[in-house]
Structure 1
Amino acid sequence: MAVALNRKGIGNLPAETTRLIGREAELAELGRLWERSRLVTVTGPGGVGKSRLALRAAVDLAPRLTDGAWWVTLSPLGRGSSLPYAIAEALYLVSSSTDPILETLAGYLAERELLLVWDTCEHLIEACAPVAEQLLAAAPNLRILATSRRTLGAPSEHVLPVGPLPVPAGGEDAGGALSPGGALSPAGAARLRAEPGRGNGIGDGDAVALLVERAAAVVPGFALTADNRSTVLDICRRLEGLPLAIELAAARLGEWSVPELAVRLKDRLAALQTQPDVYAADPPWHQALRTAIGWSHQWCSPAERLLWARASVFAGSFDASAAMRVCADGHLPAGQIPALLDALADKSLLTRMPGGGADRYRMLDTIREYGASWLRHLGQEHELRCRHRDHYRALARRGSAAWMGPDQYSWYDRVGAELDNLRAALEFALTHPEDHCAVELAGNLWFVWVCCGFPKEGQHYLQRALAADTVLSPQRTQALWACGMVLVVLGDGRGAHARAAEAVTAAERLGDADLREHGLMTVLSAAALDDAIRALAVYGHRVSEIAWREDALSFPLVSTWEARAMMLTAVGRTEEAIAVLQQVRTVCERHGEHWARAYSEILLARAELARSRLGVAAAHARAALTAKHRLGDRVGVATAVDVLACAAAGTGRAEQAAWLLGLAQQLWETLGQPQVGVHEWVTARQACEEQARAALGEPAYRQAFRAGCDIDPDTGIAYVLSERATHPPRPA
């Protein structure tokens, strides 16, 4: 399945997996706040439901915004400097320029009307305020909705405090909500809802309704009855109406009756109130949350508690295999971990993530914080973070070795699922440069940075790792050439050449022939990008230093010979270029490789365009487009679509050419560096535009171009790859 390039005009909001109960007043107040400010922060204690409220508000607002609403999850981030990259990733924005990431974001958002939801900002407060102000100043139609336990402190910020759900005071009943048979009637349910003018405008029954609904998910047929009503109300009061605490309590009703649950909660709260004054001084809802989580912890088995603590080191989601490698030891055997994960999920302490393949799990931030506090109490935090780092270091090492082979699609999917953990491992490694792990991890992730659409983030991590660890080593040398290749993708030929030359020198000092080949590959790629004609004269003879081999496939081999083909095409030696590229394509096919083979198809298409063999060029471009789309390689996709536009214009299909140019344009806008700065490709696109304009006239050209710009890119690419793609699709 192809990976979404950009869900245009829709956004990326998570699915609402449960119904929002209550919060009508807060939603109405958010509507009023949007009239006064474009930056609103929903604040409140952990577990109060800030994220759920923000999601509902975003779903309501999104249809009114031309470019939709976009969810940015911030809880896995360890540093404020990572915030702009998280925003870019959420927007499917991959900058292929060396401009500062905030400038790239500001430029991209300037003409767009959309909502950014920044979820869980409290640990990044110092970064959030200035980033928000800069983006809002650059983009007059941008809105930001943040969730945080604290205000951001930005000058333009408006704040919506959110408290627990209201609960009937002691002695109140549910307003006559019960039917004569003792069950909650439809009319009674309505009376448990909002009654204007009472309290804060939310119905007294919201906390009760939440418990009843969540309990029914655990115990089918569960209902509020005359027999359990007073006990249910007592449970909600003891939990202070805090949604997370109520949900954790409801999850236990699969094991205990309502009266048993109430007694255990009462005992737990009484025990907590005998603790030191630091607990007694907490607001009631803090005590309630601590009661619910601590009580859940108490009723876990010792093995479940230990896994809960150890699994808190994961950022984002993780699978059982990772948990076994990171968390297992003699006290927690690996074979028990899958069953323990399921047990924690059944207790609502882990969330199962939807999707194909192996089950993945995620902890809510509040649950993770509790587990992390126990991990520190056990004195195991540093050890587990080292194990987490080393697991992902090993994963990156395996991915680096396997990338140029038949499992490329699987590795793309795998690292995509593990990006949050890879980032967390990198951040931890960067705080301990004496271990020399950061340069190794960042360098081994070259295939993620270069091939999977994360060059800007790769530049960020590689430069930090290289600055933190200046000791000559094979790992640092790999990071040098990886940084050089990232700069090639970002269109910085000079910067790439400097890093590549440093890598070659380091490899020669180490006497490492393989690393020298990688450094030389980067030198030649940078030269071909900067000036292909000059590169052939100055560096062409050095290609032979990387010997051609039919029996082995390596990144330096294919990249170097593809760079040579670019040089040959630039000077008009297209037949030689085609011969080289056919060799590259053949060896890639033999080894089941997709990414480099697709680039050989793109370069073959460029060479065939130069020979005016337009049908052949289009066939090569379509072959490349399939693989590049599957790998989420937007540079490759946009380049292939450009070639198809040139072929269409050259065969008299000007309307199709204009539409394809528009489709490619919306992708180039997310990249920041049209045609990756390659002069010959820029010139070819300009000629295509002029040819289509001349054939159609300006009004018709603009109409077709705009249609290409406005279509969802995944839909557009699917159409291009279909047999119907001889004319642009007609609007529905």
Structure 2
Amino acid sequence: MAVGERQVGNLPAGKTRMVGRRTELAEIGLLFAGAARLVTLTGVGGVGKTRLALEAAAGLQSRFRDGAWLVELSPLRRGGLLPHLIAEALPLADQTARPVIDVLADYLADRELLLVLDTCEHLTDACALTVQALARAAPGLRILATSRRTLNVPGEEVLTVEPLPIPETDDPAAAQADAVVLLGERAAEHVPGFKATDAGRAELIALGRRLEGLPLAIELAAARLGELPAKELTERLDDRFAVLGETDELVCGADPPWHQALRTAIGWSHQLCSPAERLLWARLSVFAGTFDAEAARQMCADAHLAAERITDLLAALVDKSILTWQPTGGGERYRMLDTLREYGADWLRRLGEEDELRRRHRDHYRALAHRADAGWMGPDQIAWYDRTVAEHANLRTALDFCLAEEDGHSALDMGGALWFFWLACGYLGEGRHYLDRALQRCPASGPVRSKGVWTGGVIAMGQGDSDAVARMAQEFRAGAEAAADPASLIAVAHLEGTHLLLCGEPAQVATVFDAVPYTQEHGGAYTGARFLAWMVRTYVHTSLGEFTEAAAAAAALRAECVKRGERWIRAFADYVQGLAELGLGRLDEAATHTRTALKGKAVLHDSIGIAMALDLLASVAAATGQGERAARLLGIGQRIWDTIGRSQAGLPDRLAAREACERQARKTAGDSGYEAAFRKGVEDSIDDGLAYALHQT
């Protein structure tokens, strides 16, 4: 992207105005304008560290050529996946088997960007190691962290975030104190028509003083102003202070300790909730990230909490600011702030339900993984894509729980069912992280291990790790031959054929696939393997120069996908059809099919598929004498390949085709014309690049 073209990054749009913090914002700016590489915002829970960090990052974003990027760490329970989480936040979809920290270091080495690591306190050791490794590799990197504890990294600049200023007197000017202004604004959001009268301002000032300027405490109190006037609310809080040492003492291990006013406000809000609301609050604390109402019903309902009450209870917790309601394209979802989740988790432990709820969470998301696996190759594929991506943090948490409990069988069962998520949704590195550990913990042979081994081979295939594919294929074959199941034998052929393809042996690939009935429906656990095998066999026709056969095979595969309502493999069939038409010299047809493939891959954010389609469109443009268009398309594709880490998916014939396209485009456009157009493609945003590629010339 050209410098100054537009700001880049993934910072969320601000939903509410941040009150105060002008001094802190200026200080953060000055630190980064100087020599600071890492600035850590510390302070108690609920003091507003995240909101301040986001506001600061938004203001600083234009200073960084490559923007500001937010990494939310609260859903991550263990530090092993920290580099993966950072890579996911960045426009980086590396699909290789290299250590992710090395991939990140290479990606960031020549970039100038601000990385916001939010909520580090439970991962301080992992954050410290990662920050130091990335800082050494990337001189243009600056990091803004939020944490209740410092990271203890050499050169770390620490800024303690204090509560908002509160008035010391009751004069009229006190109403302009930041804490009182925030209280009034939030009250107006919760209470329609709320206005602070002259008499009411004094009560708001007293309430703001009692809450000691803590933003989260203010949010919770404001949500109650529809039920109680400010004066009565303040009196009740005074009573809570008097008995604080006797009730609701949290055992959170927070360092530094929670502020008394915040603890009081949360405990008071908890006390004013109904028993059912308190129970649901505690049970919802096992979710990571966001969740939907159906998951809450299935996991939290029992004889003590009727399922039909869950929807109303969720709405009540939203009204009380315990939950945040988030409308999304896939439906309504809910989120709980970390500080409130910790409070709920403590109560869940006190109730003796923590282990049971974590097992329910595991079972719910294992069942979800199996439903998604069964539905992936069908008309609901895009809906399953949206659903599993939205549930990513919960899927990860369930897998972590399995591995922490030495439940390798459940981890392998779940990880194997998520083959499509690791491969098609772009999480190969994370999938390998979990599958490797699950396979170690579940050595017993059987259907669960077989599916896990096949999934491990699929992941290795996506990473271009031919040796690992061969190992997985060898183990998988033994189980498949014993089962004598046609679907399993097709899955074996898929792994073995893919290994040969990666080794540049297309003729042998054809022999392997032609020995199994991959075009027939067999049902069972390997429907996806059948379509992957069909896809690879169709592609191999083009590697062998059999373009007429490739076109016929692609048409048959596409027809089967259309019949099922499937989109992911269908887009690949369109891509192979484009390759075949190019080989047959039918350039207009080649361009049409390839643009269709590109649209299909873009819907599912399939980076490899998008980049391959862009390269093919470049070859079509070069063949029609459009050298500069071909160069720009190659540049757009290169921008994506750079984030993937393995050009042309490691396929020898695609690498050769790209080199031939470049030579032809240079010959037509000239070196200077080629370089200028290629550079323009690299600098295009992804959206602009795709719009250019899809424009019919």
User: Same-fold call, TM > 0.5?
Assistant: yes
2: CA distance, partners of 1:401 / 1:570: 32
1:441 aligns with 2:439: no
Provide the rounded CA distance (Å) in 2 between the counterparts of 1:587 and 1:276.
Answer: 60
Decide which of 192, 205, 221 is 1:249's aligned counterpart. 221
- Please give the residue correspondences for 1:44-443 in structure 2 after superposition, counting only pairs within 5 Å: 44-169=43-168, 172-174=169-171, 176-177=172-173, 192=176, 205-274=177-246, 286-434=259-407, 436-443=409-416
Cα gap change, 1:250/1:619 in structure 2, threshold over 3 Å: closer, same or farther?
Answer: same
Instruction: Note if contact 2:68-2:114 (Cα within 8 Å) is conserved in structure 1.
Output: yes
CA-to-partner distance for each residue in 1:356-409, whole Å, 9 max, x for gaps? 342100000000000000000000001101111111101100111111111111
Query: Of 695, 698, 704, which aligns to 2:671?
Result: 698
Given candidates 613, 616, 626, the residue that maps to 1:643 is 616
Separation in 2, partners of 1:541, 1:303: 60
Are 2:548 and 1:548 aligned? no
Structure 1 residues 521 and 385 mapped into 2: Cα distance closer, same or farther (>3 Å)?
same
Letter in 1 for 2:520: R
Cα distance between partner residues in 2 of 1:25 and 1:681: 55
**Residue 65 to residue 597, structure 1, CA distance change in 2 (3 Å):** same
Q: Please say if residues 106 and 135 of structure 1, whose CA atoms lie closer than 8 Å, have aligned partners that are also in contact.
A: yes
Q: Any gaps of 5 or more consecutive residues in structure 2?
A: none
What secondary structure sits across from 1:227 in the alignment?
helix
Cα displacement (A) at 1:717: 1.2
CA RMSD after TM alignment: 2.1
Q: Give per-residue Cα distances to partners, 1:200-230, cap 9 Å, x unaligned.
A: xxxxx11111111111212244344432333
State which drifts further: 485-494 or 599-608: 599-608
2:300 and 2:358 mapped to 1: Cα distance? Answer: 10
Instruction: Please give the alpha-carbon distance, in whole angstroms, between the structure 1 residues aligned to 2:250 and 2:421.
Output: 46
Map of 2:25 onto structure 1 = 27
- How far apart are residue 274 of structure 1 and its match? 4.4
In the alignment, what sits opposite 1:526? 499
Cα deviation digits, residues 401-449 of structure 1 (max 9, x gap):
1111111111111111111111111111111234610000000000001
The 1:634/1:68 distance shift into structure 2, 3 A limit, reads: same
AA at the equivalent of 1:124: L
Instruction: Select the residue among 579, 602, 608 that pairs with 2:552.
Output: 579
Q: Is the 8 A contact 1:473 1:510 kept in 2?
A: no
Instruction: Give secondary structure in 2 for the equivalent of 1:531.
Output: coil
Separation in 2 of the partners of 1:518 and 1:301? 53
> In the TM superposition, what is the alpha-carbon distance from 1:295 to its structure 2 partner?
0.5
* TM-score when normalising by structure 1: 0.90
How far 1:467 sits from its partner (Å)? Answer: 1.5
Question: In the alignment, which residue of structure 1 is the partner of 2:440?
Answer: 467
- Classify the secondary structure of the residue corresponding to 1:670: helix
Whole-angstrom CA distance in 1 between matches of 2:344 and 2:468: 44
| More displaced 10-residue stretch of structure 1: 11-20 or 428-437 | 428-437
Q: For 1:673, which of 646, 665, 669 is the aligned residue?
A: 646
Distance 1:316 1:688, change over 3 A: same
| TM superposition score normalised by structure 2 | 0.95
Structure 1, residues 14-60: CA drift from partner, whole Å, max 9, x if none? 12111111111111111121112111111111000000000000000
Residue type of the alignment partner of 2:690:
I
Amino acid at match of 1:589: V
More deviation, 313-322/610-619: 610-619
Q: Given that residues 513 and 533 in structure 2 are in contact (C-alpha distance below 8 angstroms), is that contact kept between their aligned partners in structure 1?
A: no
Separation in structure 2 between the aligned mates of residue 277 and residue 450 of structure 1, nearest angstrom: 46
Secondary structure at the aligned position of 1:354 is classed as strand
| Contact 1:110/1:139 (8 A) holds in 2 | yes
Deviating more after overlay: 97-106 vs 553-562: 553-562
Q: Report the secondary structure of 2:185's partner residue.
A: helix
Aligned amino acid, residue 17 of structure 1: K
The corresponding residue for 2:11 is 13
* Corresponding residue SS for 1:436: helix
- 2:524 is equivalent to residue 557 of structure 1: no
Q: Indicate the larger mover: 10-19 or 439-448.
A: 10-19
Residues in 2 aligned to 1:157 and 1:506: alpha-carbon distance in whole angstroms = 53
Q: Is 2:514 the counterpart of 1:517? A: no
Deviations 1:286-309 (A, max 9, x none): 111111111110010111101000
User: Which secondary structure does the structure 2 equivalent of 1:554 belong to?
Assistant: helix
Task: Indicate the residue corresponding to 1:180 in structure 2.
Answer: none
Is the contact between residue 477 and residue 515 of structure 1 (CA under 8 Å) also seen in structure 2?
Answer: no
Question: What is the percentage of aligned positions where both structures have the same residue?
Answer: 51
Larger displacement relative to structure 2 (518-527 or 584-593): 518-527
Return the alpha-carbon distance in structure 2 between the equivalents of residues 582 and 277 of structure 1: 67
Of 62-71 and 328-337, more deviation after overlay is shown by 62-71
| 1:36 is aligned to 2:35 | yes
CA distance in 2, matches of 1:604, 1:112: 38
Question: Which residue identity lines up with residue 459 of structure 1 in the other structure?
Answer: R
Determine the C-alpha separation between the residues in 1 that align with 2:694 and 2:475: 42
Once residues 561 and 231 of structure 1 are traced to their aligned partners in structure 2, the CA distance between those partners, rounded to angstroms, is 72
Letter of the 2:16 counterpart: T
| 1:343 partner SS | helix
Aligned-partner residue type, residue 570 of structure 1: S
Cα separation, 1, equivalents of 2:561 and 2:690? 24
Match for residue 634 of structure 2 among 635, 640, 661: 661
Give the whole-Å Cα distance in 2 for the aligned partners of 1:210 and 1:684: 61
SS in 2 for 1:549: coil
1:485-515 Cα shifts (integer Å, max 9, x gaps): 1111111122112112211213334555433
* Contact residue 628 and residue 669 of structure 2 kept, 8 A: yes
Cα distance in structure 1, aligned partners of 2:192 and 2:552: 68
Question: Distance in 2 between the 1:264 and 1:581 partners?
Answer: 71
Whether the 8 Å contact between 1:433 and 1:469 is mirrored in structure 2 is no
Q: 1:628, 1:636 within 8 Å by CA — same for their partners in 2?
A: yes
Q: Distance in 2 between matches of 1:84 and 1:500?
A: 29
Distance 2:693 2:159 in 1: 46
1-side partners of 2:256 and 2:62: how far apart? Answer: 38
Distance 1:602 1:294, change over 3 A: same
| DSSP-derived class of the 1:362 partner | strand
C-alpha change, 1:374 and 1:620, in structure 2 (3 Å) is same
Determine helix, strand or coil for the equivalent of 1:252: coil
SS of the residue corresponding to residue 272 of structure 1 reads coil
C-alpha distance in structure 2 between counterparts of 1:620 and 1:532, whole Å: 27
| Cα pair distance change 1:341/1:650, threshold 3 Å | same
SS at match of 2:616: helix
Alpha-carbon contact 1:433-1:468 (below 8 Å) kept: yes
Shift of 1:551: 9.0
Within 1, Cα distance between the matches of 2:221 and 2:214?
11
Give the residue type in structure 1 aligned to 2:100: I
Cα distance in 2 between the residues matched to 1:650 and 1:556: 35
